[in-house]
Amino acid sequence: MSSDLSIILPRVLIVSRRTLRKNKFVDFVGEYHLDLIVSYGAVPVIVPRVSGVHMLLSSFEPIHGVLLCEGEDIDPSWYEEGDNNGTLSQDELDEIRRVHASDTAIDKEKDSIELSLAKLCLERNIPYMGICRGSQVLNVACGGTLYRDIGKELSKKCPESQRVMHINYDDYDGHRHVVKVVDNTPLHSWFKDSLDEAKMEISVNSYHHQGVKRLAQRFVPMAFAPDGLIEGFYDPDVYNPEEGKFIMGLQFHPERMRKSNSDEFDYPGCPFAYKEFVKAVIAYQKKMNSLTCVPKSPKLNKEMEVKRKIIVRSFSLARNLYTSGHGKRGSSKDSELEAGAEFLESNTALSVQQENRLKQMGATVRNAGSYVERLKLNEEREKMARNVMGKMPVEQLSDLLSFYHTMAQICSQVLETKIHDLVVNNN
């Protein structure tokens, strides 16, 4: 496999959900998510929901995008202070657990993995899209809060006409409820051809009993249910798919909004969230590759290439003389050896290792005397330096090493710049 990151498809991390099958835990991800990610040009990388994975997320690098979707309720300790249960009594909490038994089983490991990934995306501006639970994770990661149960905390405060069924256990795929889309938002641009300007409404598929209570400050709502629940939000300061910017949460399921017994979407705008998300992922990958690509070494012009070959030829002849032990040389060889000798004289700042290597090659034909003296002096200096450093404490040695490492980097950068300028000037 090639190590060239420029030819690797962008990677989107998706955390699996755990379920029980044949008395064993099984990890899974909804196939609609995977299909859409692949169809728009990215590769889904499934992060298994197993113990300890939240400590190993660096092993999944490079990360070009994160998509978080369904799952159980988030542990309320992430967004509630102390033991505060809001306005819910213990009897109400017990009833919620009975009614929503499949969703109220807290999965602390999944919480840790997904919140770590969300915070990583926020720190590095990695494209992030949260669907359903994934939108709640994003809000909590940014300091927002959630309703522990919409029915108990929100619906009972609404007039009967405004109450919304956000979950239907008997009709997961077919269930729909109305949301009002906010103008001048990404969601509006995706569904504008399907919106009546008077109502600005679409019918969405949803499957949740919790939702955003207090929206984190950085986010702007994109849609509301009739009961006032926020059904979509985004960060306008981090939204520009062409530049690799995308931070968004959707409480509803656009990937599941399809006509009965068909893969045709309810609205042309349904897949646009995935399309724009992957667009941002691809742009983010390109941006990261441009920062990590090592610039190619400048090409030598013809004149410098000829000089290089002459020097290489000179060193080769000198090496042959050194290894064969022949002291006699023809006049033609003497003239060819001049180039190597001149090169050595003009490079007096060579390291001891480099000079030892040149000595082994026999590249000191003409200036052998001065070269040997220089080598002895360098050896004495090295011996003196070793004696001094041997008396230094570990802290000083560490500082010294760091200093010279920095100086070496600076030297390398300056040298590369000078070589580039030399090549440009000779062209």
Provide the annotated active-site residues.
132, 253, 255
Residues 6+ apart with CB under 8 A from 352: 375, 378, 379, 382
> Which DSSP symbol is given to 293?
P
Rounded to an integer, what distance in angstroms lies between the CA atom of residue 18 and that of residue 46?
12
Query: What 3-state class would DSSP assign to 24?
Result: strand
Give the number of residues written for the chain. Answer: 427
Please compute, for residue 312, the number of CA atoms within 13 A of its CA located in the half-sphere on the CB side. Answer: 6
The sign one gets for the Cα dihedral 32, 36, 39, 41 is negative
Q: Tell which phi-psi region holds residue 362, choosing left (phi > 0), alpha (psi between -120 and 50) or beta.
A: left
DSSP letters, 247-279, are: EEEESS-GGG-B-TTSS-BSSTTTTHHHHHHHH
